[in-house]
């Protein structure tokens, strides 16, 4: 991980210059190899102590901050050390925020298409369940017709009446299954809709 992977050099330079001016110190940011990645802000006095503080994100050292005494400004070592600690933390926090923002964007880019697929799948399930309802409705009609014919046939239609009754039970069960599927699909669509709203909000925030 590198500082400039997440923070623009111009942004880091501007932050460094404001800090140097506010604290009356010289400031320089280096990479992990000790190479300067910004132009020094403020002219450090020759022969004076400089204080280094590592820039750390998580457990990884990604660079360091070098704080020095300005020419003509008298600061004790504790002030300079504190300035180094504070600015290195500020740089690390900035990198972490930018990195997390990038991860959020990557997650949105991966998850959103999958959520669209899930929504399509739910729509397909709902469509197939609707066909199940249509079958149940036809079974009801057949059951009614079978019951009428069994009644007309009297004793001779008793076997037919048993079949009609079984068809009625099947129709009823199909209707219950359809209702359960429709209810679950409706709840799932609601959940997917809420997740999509969150993803859309994240996209809008990142675009601003």
- In CATH, 105-207 is 1.10.287.950: yes
3-state class percentages of the chain: helix first, strand second, coil last, to nearest 5: 70, 15, 15
pLDDT digits (tens, 9 = 90+) for 120-158: 777 777 777 677 677 767 767 777 776 776 677 676 656
Go through the chain and tell me how many residues it has.
208
Entry pTM: 0.52
Strands laid side by side in the 25-30 sheet: 25-30, 60-69, 50-57
Joined together, the tokens standing for residue 36 give 């300067």
**Domains 3-103 and 105-207 equal at CATH topology level:** no
Per-domain boundaries in the chain: 3-103, 105-207
Q: Would you say residue 73 has pLDDT above 80?
A: no
pLDDT digits (tens, 9 = 90+) for 83-98: 899 989 988 888 888 8
Q: Residue 198: which pLDDT band, with cuts at 50, 70 and 90?
A: low
Q: 3-103 falls under which CATH superfamily?
A: GAF domain (3.30.450.40)
Q: Is there a contact between 29 and 16 (Cβ–Cβ < 8 Å)? A: yes
Q: Residue 170: which pLDDT band, with cuts at 50, 70 and 90?
A: low
């Amino acid at each position: 991980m590198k500082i400039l992977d997440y923070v623009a050099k111009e942004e880091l330079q501007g932050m460094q210059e404001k800090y140097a001016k506010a604290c009356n110190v010289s400031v320089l940011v280096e990479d992990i190899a000790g190479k300067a990645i910004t132009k020094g802000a403020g002219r450090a006095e020759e022969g004076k102590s400089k204080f280094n503080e590592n820039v750390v994100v998580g457990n990884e050292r990604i660079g360091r901050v070098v704080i020095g005494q300005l020419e003509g400004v008298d600061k004790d070592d504790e002030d300079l050390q504190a300035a180094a600690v504070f600015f290195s933390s500020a740089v690390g926090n900035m990198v972490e925020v930018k990195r997390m923002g990038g991860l959020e964007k990557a997650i949105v880019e991966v998850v959103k298409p999958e959520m669209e697929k899930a929504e399509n799948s739910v729509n397909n399930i709902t469509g197939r369940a609707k066909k199940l309802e249509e079958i149940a409705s036809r079974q009801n009609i057949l059951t009614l017709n079978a019951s009428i014919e069994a009644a007309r046939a009297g004793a001779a239609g008793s076997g037919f009446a048993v079949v009609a009754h079984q068809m009625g039970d099947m129709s009823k069960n199909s209707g219950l299954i359809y209702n359960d599927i429709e209810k679950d699909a409706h709840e799932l669509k609601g959940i997917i809709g809420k997740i999509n709203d969150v993803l859309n909000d994240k996209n809008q925030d990142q675009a601003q």
